[in-house]
Chains A and B, each alone.
Chain A
Amino acid sequence: MEPNNTPLSHSVTLDKAKCKGCTACLKRCPTEAIRIRDGKAKILQDLCIDCGECIKVCPYHAKQAATDPFEDLQKYKYNIAVPAPTLYGQFHNLKDIDYVLNGLLAIGFDDVYEAAKGTEAITDLTLKLLAEGKLEKPVINSACPAVIRLISVRFPSLISHILPVVAPVEAAAMAARKEAVEKTGLSPEDIGVFFISPCAAKATTVQNPLGLKASPISGVLSMKSVYMKLLPALGKLSEIKPISTSSLEGISWARIGGEIKALSRGKCLSVDGIDNIISLFEEIEDDENLDIDFIEALSCTGGCVSGPLTVENGYVAKMRIVEIAKAQGKKDLPRTPIDLTDEELTWSEPIKYRNNMYLDEDFAVAMQKLEQIETIYRDLPQIDCGSCGSPTCKCLAEDIVRGYADEIECIHNLRKRLQSLQQEAE
């Protein structure tokens, strides 16, 4: 497989004034994509998978996700809000989803289409594909863009295992636009479809779609910012129209376990938290005999409820999602199928391997560099303190050989050298 290294833009940005150059994000980044340079965190674009861990861990709130402003609604003649089901878990004592959906209309949207609706079509198609038996096992879900990007940079042999199906929010966005065109007679470009997102990686996916030529989503609004507008509006609602048609299963996708609960078939496994996913994927690469049919992997612990753009504590939100999904199930709503073909729901573009690890295109030179890395590493203190601005001593050795850092940046070795100079002088 040939590596594809076209530049990628990311949604994670840095507020330089707030960044103190500490090692919090440096040490947390699961793909070693951060360095501290000139006292500020720097993201290596080729390695970033948009998981948002750095946003969550930064004590100074210097890391942010670049989402779209609410004012972008003015660009379109008709605007549809597509809320992730995680939004429902942000409110205290929410009795009915319809409060939130009516609230979205009150703050300026013309229509609402639940992302949870998209899950139903995805589940149906997944079951069909699993029954056909043509997919390589274990099949890995495609709902979490950070997981797909992780595979594309770290686990090239697992690319062929990814479910080649659009994410629920993309299915919902496609269906929402289609319905709106029929309803309003406007052309598709005049319709704004805005995802209300708990997730930084989803924002990147609109610019750099995964598996699709172009994203059906017009813009991504951060859940935090929409929450601030929604909260006052909810108190002023005079009438609650019944809007929601989503199912218990659809809403449950907001938490880990939701997707495989909906599948309820075969040997399925749920894994959450990016580090747990990495160790599982390592094992899948190595062990032929694991015998797993389907893996639901969500980068955030607990699932999308813990996304970096949420307001509420992820565990509290998860508990609420369970309650809200149950209440929705009790409504016994008729299931209204999404009007999309299997072809529309299936990826048209392959996921490409982005090998950002190789040291040199010339194999012999790469071997020499590898030897140099080992030699430099042996001389480093191997305590992975991060003071040099690289996350580990091994990573500093690699950075030195790649020309990204100087050996002198190891403060411990520098101190040793000073001490021996001092001794010589005495």
Chain B
Amino acid sequence: MPNVKLHYDIDGNDFTVAGQASSNLKKVLKQLGVSTEVIRKAAISMYEGEINTVIHGKGGAADVEISTDKLIITFTDHGPGIKDISQAMQEGFSTATDEARELGFGAGMGLPNMKKYSDALNISSVLGEGTTVEIIIHLT
């Protein structure tokens, strides 16, 4: 069975390009004829993940793997890591910088939204080394 792999580099110095990977992923999913509901879930998760990777991870990458039944998006960064993952998953909790808050980020909804719009979310993080967030969305 074929599977499609997409790779997006996420620049750690520029919030304003966040959304490009999401836009590209939406197009690919439309080309595959994936349902509007799944595209919406993927778009929101991708966008939140991109922004998290910029704000908290100081940049990194997003890798997308599409197979016949599911979509896996893996965000990898080499940022400071997450001290307390269960705290990070709480709605409203944020460690965003003032700069990010000025741009309207830092509402503490990033990871909770990614969890809400995906079918599974796995985080692994090592302090001082970085974080990997994997989300799975079923296509059917």
**Residues on A facing B (Cβ under 8 Å):** 1, 156-157, 282-283, 285-289, 353, 355, 357-361, 363-364, 366-371, 374, 398
Q: Show 30 A/B contacts (Cβ-Cβ < 8 Å), sorted by A.
A: A157-B40, A282-B19, A282-B26, A283-B19, A285-B26, A285-B43, A286-B23, A286-B43, A287-B44, A287-B47, A288-B44, A289-B107, A358-B31, A358-B32, A360-B33, A361-B33, A363-B33, A366-B31, A366-B33, A367-B2, A367-B3, A367-B66, A367-B68, A368-B2, A370-B4, A370-B28, A370-B32, A371-B2, A371-B4, A374-B4
Do A357 and B30 form a contact, CB below 8 Å, given A157-B40, A286-B46, A363-B68?
A: yes
Do A364 and B1 form a contact, CB below 8 Å, given A282-B23, A283-B19?
A: yes
Most buried by B among A353, A355, A357, A369: A357
CA of A286 to CA of B42 in the docked complex: distance in angstroms? Answer: 9
Q: Are B22 and A286 in contact (CB under 8 A)?
A: yes
Contacts of B32 in A (CB 8 A): 358-359, 363, 366-367, 370
CB nearest neighbor in B for A367 = B2
Decide yes or no whether B113 CB sits under 8 A from chain A.
Answer: yes
Q: With A288-B44, A364-B68, A374-B4 given, can you name 13 additional A-B contacts, CB distance below 8 Å?
A: A157-B40, A286-B22, A286-B43, A286-B44, A355-B33, A357-B31, A359-B31, A360-B33, A367-B3, A367-B32, A367-B66, A368-B2, A371-B2
CA of A286 to CA of B36 in the docked complex: distance in angstroms? Answer: 13
Q: Mark B3-32, 1 if CB is under 8 A from A, else 0.
A: 110000000000000010011001110111
Contacting residue for A370 out of B23, B31, B68, B109, CB 8 A: B31
Interface of B is mostly: helix
CA of A100 to CA of B28 in the docked complex: distance in angstroms? Answer: 50
Q: Are B40 and A285 in contact (CB under 8 A)?
A: yes
Interface residues contributed by chain B, number (CB under 8 Å): 27
Contacting residue for B39 out of A157, A287, A363, A370, CB 8 A: A157
Q: Are A289 and B36 in contact (CB under 8 A)?
A: no
CA of A358 to CA of B27 in the docked complex: distance in angstroms? Answer: 9
Q: Are B66 and A358 in contact (CB under 8 A)?
A: no
Contacts of A359 in B (CB 8 A): 31-33
Do A286 and B19 form a contact, CB below 8 Å, given A367-B66, A367-B68?
A: yes
CB nearest neighbor in A for B105 = A289
Q: Are A156 and B46 in contact (CB under 8 A)?
A: no
Q: Are B33 and A289 in contact (CB under 8 A)?
A: no
Contacts of B95 in A (CB 8 A): none
CA of A369 to CA of B35 in the docked complex: distance in angstroms? Answer: 18
CA of A157 to CA of B27 in the docked complex: distance in angstroms? Answer: 13
CA of A102 to CA of B129 in the docked complex: distance in angstroms? Answer: 77
Contacts of B4 in A (CB 8 A): 367, 370-371, 374
Contacts of B68 in A (CB 8 A): 363-364, 367
CB nearest neighbor in A for B30 = A357
CA of A366 to CA of B139 in the docked complex: distance in angstroms? Answer: 14
Do A364 and B36 form a contact, CB below 8 Å, given A282-B19, A286-B46, A358-B31?
A: no
CB nearest neighbor in A for B23 = A282
Min Cβ gap A343→B in Å is: 29
CA of A330 to CA of B88 in the docked complex: distance in angstroms? Answer: 59
CB nearest neighbor in A for B27 = A357
Most buried by A among B19, B27, B39, B66: B19
